[in-house]
Amino acid sequence: MSETYLNYFKDAITYQLKELEEQIPISIKDITCPVRNELGQNIDLVYMRLFRLALRDTYGSKLSSSLLYEAGRHTAINNFKFVSIDDIVNTLNDLSIGVMKVVYNNGEHIIFQEEECAICSGMPTTDEALCSFESGFLAGALSCIMNKNVVVEETECWGLGDQICQFEASIISDTPPKSDEKMNTLDLIATLASRSSKAIALNKELKKKNDIFSKQLEFAQRIQKKIIPHMDAFKSDYYNFYSYLKPFREVGGDFYDFFFDKDSNKVAIAIADMAGHGIDAAMITGMIKLTLKHCSKKKGLLCKPSKVMAFIEADISDVVPDNFFSMIYMVFDPDKQSIRYCNAGHPSAILYRKKQNIMQFLHSNQPLVGLSQYIDDYPFVQQSILYEKGDQIFLYTDGVTELRNRYGEFYKTSTLLDIIRNSKDLSISTACENIIASLNEHRQERDFEDDMCLLGIQL
């Protein structure tokens, strides 16, 4: 609901409250002397029913029924002085509302039945009770007699498919009704005014907080875009690269980075997946970036996966303990055609050996980063493997293999391997784009449920 609409609503209610207090009262006596010398007091029932129909069509059945119920209750409390249940029945019959009678009364529960109802007799079935004013009238009249709050429900009605009206009255509390109130509709409007005022205030506060959060989120998004490089900007005489990153929200917990050591021509690549999503996860990726940047200033350090992982572990555990994430850190040596790596709880990297047409998985050999605080003398161990010219490596986060379709089925690793194999003669960019197309085909219309990152390296 917009603030403009709430302001209109608040102004309308304020005006209505003022009008109710200032208007000249009209009593039963004032309306029982119409000057109709030729037509008299009788009118066609259709004309009276038009008022009900107009209210229903204008405000809907529920709201119009509530207003009519409160109007009937107010009328009985403020314009009549009932002394008995028989008095109520006789008054309604005298007004030709219908033929009313009491069919059950045990002092706590009273049932009225009415035939030839002026409001609903002959009406089509609408699956709703139509005699709301009469229900409210009975509730107000009984409240005055019994000095207790009474609620009345119409359980049978022409609108409900019956050919008789039945009203069931029940006591709802021992609290006596208000006798000097303007009318219950006033209470209703006052309540609505109060709630709308609170809604306006809450809406303003929520908008203010949303604006602050949106600015913070926009800032975090800009920062994350700055700290995560685009592979297209990274040129190497020995390797070709491809990167794809899709956060679950505006910012995410998937991260990658790369570094080039000019002295040795070695290339280092990191990929990590934080626990969780959003700004909190993005802040951890920023810390990893800073640690890697710090490592890059120490000659030769970036080419030692085990030491880099140890630095990251120490920094993260010291600043934000009890935060865990998976990570792979790899160093590619073009002279030796070798890969040294540490895999800390991350999905296995896939090395496609083109000549042999086989896949080799570089499995995790460490627990998650952040767990060493619970393990005494925990060392990071690096492994090494040789590759041949033309081989390919694919790194990804679990957002790839845990992507679900509309049936809740995970994306199959076998499908991923088939695409890699079928793309062996294509560029690394095309191979990765084929994987992404397959992921989208699997997902179809289902929303993403996790961050997703895919890296491809042509060796």
Are the CB atoms for 305 and 281 separated by under 8 Å? no
The residues near 268 (Cβ < 8 Å, ≥ 6 apart) are 258, 259, 260, 261, 302, 303, 308, 329, 330, 331, 332
For residue 31, what pLDDT is reported? 72
- Is residue 179 predicted with pLDDT exceeding 50? no
- Please choose, from the candidates 69, 65, 109, the residue with its C-alpha nearest in 3D space to the C-alpha of residue 85: 109
Q: How many CB atoms sit inside 10 A of residue 292's CB?
A: 22
Q: Kind of pairing, strands 383-386 and 358-362?
A: unpaired
Each residue's pLDDT tens digit, 182-195:
444 545 554 555 45
Collapse the DSSP code of 260 into the 3-class scheme (helix H, G, I; strand E, B; otherwise coil) and give the result.
strand
pLDDT digits (tens, 9 = 90+) for 248-296: 777 778 889 988 887 788 999 999 988 777 777 778 888 888 888 888 8
Q: Which residues of 52-75 are buried (b: 16+ CB within 10 A; e: fewer)?
A: beebbeeeebeebbbbbbbbbbbb
**Mean pLDDT, residues 51-70:** 82
Is the torsion defined by CA of 66, 72, 77, 82 positive or negative?
Answer: negative
Q: Which residues are CB-neighbours of 63 under 8 A, at least 6 positions away?
A: none
For range 293-306, the mean pLDDT: 83
Which one, of 459, 397, 398, lies nearest residue 431 by Cα?
459
User: pLDDT tens across 399-449, in order?
Assistant: 898 888 888 889 999 999 999 999 988 999 999 999 999 998 888 877 777
Residue 158 pLDDT > 90:
yes
The arithmetic mean of pLDDT across residues 82-93, rounded, is: 92
Phi, psi of 242 (to 5 degrees): -145, 140
- pLDDT surpasses 90 at 323: no
Query: What's the confidence (pLDDT) of residue 157?
Result: 95
160 in Cβ contact with 144 (< 8 Å): no
How far apart are the C-alpha atoms of 288 and 285, rounded to whole Å? 5
Of 326, 327, 347, the closest CA to residue 400 belongs to 347
- Residue 173, pLDDT score: 65
Q: Can you say whether the dihedral through the CA atoms of 150, 156, 158, 159 is positive or negative? A: positive
pLDDT value, residue 369: 86
Lowest mean per-residue pLDDT among 146-155, 160-169, 209-218, 360-369: 209-218
Average pLDDT, the chain: 83
The pLDDT value recorded for residue 188 is: 54
Q: Dihedral sign, CA of 52, 54, 59, 60?
A: positive
Q: Are 313 and 353 in contact (CB under 8 A)?
A: no
The string of DSSP letters for 300-366 reads TGGG-HHHHHHHHHHHHHHHSTT--EEEEEEEEETTTTEEEEEEESPPPEEEEETTTTEEEEE---B
Q: Which domains does the chain have, with CATH numbers?
A: 3-196 (3.30.1380.20), 218-458 (3.60.40.10)
pLDDT in tens, 221-233: 777 777 777 766 6
Please state the rounded mean pLDDT for residues 15-24: 68
What mean pLDDT do residues 289-305 have? Answer: 83
d(CA 411, CA 438): 9
Q: What is the pLDDT of residue 286?
A: 81
The pTM is what?
Answer: 0.57
Q: How far is CA 118 from the centre of its chain?
A: 47
Q: What is the DSSP secondary structure assignment for residue 255, as one 8-state letter?
A: E
Dihedral sign for Cα atoms in the order 161, 167, 170, 172: positive
Burial class of 286 by CB neighbour count within 10 A (0 to 12, 13 to 18, 19+): middle
